[in-house]
Amino acid sequence: MSAFEKSVNCEDVAPLLVFYACNEVSDRERKQIDAHAANCQACAAQLAEESHLQEAMVAAPQPADELDSSGILLSQCRSELAEALDDLSAPPIQEHWRPFGWLRRWMALRPAWSGALLVLFGIVLGTQVLPWLQNGKSGNANGQAMNVTAKPPLSKDQLDNMEIAGINFSPSSDAGSPNVQLKLSAEQPMVLTGSVDDSDMRHVLTYVVENGQRFDAGVRLDCLEALKAASRDQQVRQALIAAARKDQNPAVRMKALESLREASADDDVRQALLDALQHDANPGVRVEAVNVLVGSLQHRESEETAPEAADATPVVKLSSPEEDPSVERVVRALQQLQHRDPSRYVRLRSAAALRQIGPREVQ
């Protein structure tokens, strides 16, 4: 017996006896246990008991002996497996063509999760997707107009790229400036609604008048009509004067002069009226200039007299030349027009205007 084998005691051997009995110890361990059991009756008895127990358990009938003693169950199992393999091997055409088959199988196996997911899906669909889709539809996809409530300031690029799709007027409730609705076709179609006093609205209308070549005459006339109420504004007045001088369409020039009626006492306006009177090629414009000038020369007391009624009204009282030196220029221009204008109607209208103004000594 080696020194190592002598050192093995009962505590070392006891845990190994289970494995010794079922032949799961190494050769070295087996020798140690054999050597120890030869000298230790207690361990030898425990080893014998362990071996006996395991032999008895192995020898005892097992459930499998009882449950499938005839082998019928094994045959059944083989048959069922073959059928299952047939199902697996068959081309699952329906599964391939059935949309979301995997999802339905997954849901069938997890009903609680499926219910929760469906509820979540419904919430997301209702609160996020549908509003998003509606916003997308009402955007510029169909070229429909969008109401702008926040009034972002219009940039020059936007103005340069815009087209006027429509312009509507409606009388305001407080008898002030009429409400205007402008439909703009730009990169983002929009509708501007408001009175001429709104800065954006005035900005757009002025832009149209100043850049008449980009817009058709009908739009320009509508814009001039809208701006009439704001003719005392410096920016609007300059735009109206420019239109009266430069617009290619005589109807637009006439409308511009008409729109300046409220501001006709202004020097710039009066000069523009005189220029139209003397240099405009269209007799209708010149006649309109005469009408507006006559109206502008009336006294404050008679300012309420309608210009259309000027022909019928008696002589109006003029400001003295000391009070308003431009009056002299107007009278002189009318006198020249009375004799030299190529249009007979203009000559007659000028003469009538001079009579209306009254006899006057021209210096």
Partner 1 sequence: MPLPRWALALADYNGRSGSTDAALASVISLSHLDERALVAEAQTGSRAAFEELVRRFDRDVLRLALNLMKRPEDARDVYQEAFLKVYRNLHRFRFECSFYTWLYRIVTNVCLDHLRRRQARPEDQAPELSSGLHEEGITDFFERQREQRPTLDPERTFIGKEIKARIAIAMERLSPRERIVFEMKHYQGLKLRAIGDALGTTEETVKNSLFRATRKLRHELGGLR
Q: In 3D, which of 228, 168, 176 has the Cα closest to residue 202?
A: 228
Taking the complex as a whole, the smallest distance from the CB of residue 42 to partner 1 amounts, in Å, to 16
**Per CB under 8 A, does 118 bind partner 1?**
no
Q: Extract the tokens encoding 255.
A: 């409308």
Contact of 236 with 230, CB cutoff 8 Å: yes
Taking the complex as a whole, the smallest distance from the CB of residue 36 to partner 1 amounts, in Å, to 19
**Per CB under 8 A, does 61 bind partner 1?**
yes
Alpha-carbon distance 197 to 202, whole Å?
7
- Residue with the two structure tokens 């009624």: 309
Q: Which of 5, 12, 19, 278 binds partner 1 (CB under 8 A)?
A: 19
What is the enclosing helix (H) or strand (E) of 4?
A: helix 3-7
Q: In whole angstroms, how far apart are CA 254 and each of 85, 146, 179, 267, 356?
A: 94, 34, 23, 19, 22
Contact of 313 with 305, CB cutoff 8 Å: yes
Residue 60 or residue 362: which is nearer to partner 1 going by CB?
Answer: 60
- Residue with the two structure tokens 């757009």: 204
Q: Which of 74, 123, 125, 348 binds partner 1 (CB under 8 A)?
A: 74
Q: In whole angstroms, how far apart are CA 31 and each of 19, 25, 115, 134, 291?
A: 13, 10, 65, 87, 138
**Per CB under 8 A, does 42 bind partner 1?**
no
Q: Which of 12, 18, 140, 275 binds partner 1 (CB under 8 A)?
A: 18
**Per CB under 8 A, does 59 bind partner 1?**
yes
Which phi and psi (to 5°) does residue 192 adopt? Answer: -105, 130
**Per CB under 8 A, does 60 bind partner 1?**
yes
Stretch that binds partner 1, among 49-57, 305-313, 316-324, 346-354 (CB under 8 A): 49-57
Q: Which of 10, 85, 120, 348 binds partner 1 (CB under 8 A)?
A: 85
The strand pairing partners of 166, in sequence order, are: 183
**Per CB under 8 A, does 58 bind partner 1?**
yes
**Per CB under 8 A, does 112 bind partner 1?**
no
**Per CB under 8 A, does 76 bind partner 1?**
yes
Binding-site size, partner 1 (CB under 8 A): 35
Q: Which of 6, 28, 78, 317 binds partner 1 (CB under 8 A)?
A: 78
Helix ranges (DSSP H) in 211-303: 217-227, 234-246, 250-259, 267-279, 283-297
Taking the complex as a whole, the smallest distance from the CB of residue 96 to partner 1 amounts, in Å, to 17
Taking the complex as a whole, the smallest distance from the CB of residue 88 to partner 1 amounts, in Å, to 7
Q: Which of 51, 54, 238, 335 binds partner 1 (CB under 8 A)?
A: 54
* CB count in 10 Å sphere of residue 100: 9
**Per CB under 8 A, does 15 bind partner 1?**
yes
For the chain, state the CA radius of gyration.
54
**Per CB under 8 A, does 81 bind partner 1?**
yes
Q: Which of 66, 304, 308, 323 binds partner 1 (CB under 8 A)?
A: 66
Taking the complex as a whole, the smallest distance from the CB of residue 39 to partner 1 amounts, in Å, to 24
Stretch that binds partner 1, among 84-92, 183-191, 247-255, 345-353 (CB under 8 A): 84-92
Q: Which of 64, 90, 281, 306 binds partner 1 (CB under 8 A)?
A: 64
Q: In whole angstroms, how far apart are CA 212 and each of 66, 166, 180, 220, 221?
A: 106, 16, 19, 7, 10
What is the enclosing helix (H) or strand (E) of 209?
A: helix 199-210
Binding site for partner 1 (CB under 8 A): 15, 18-19, 22, 24, 50, 52-54, 56-69, 73-74, 76-78, 80-82, 84-85, 88-89
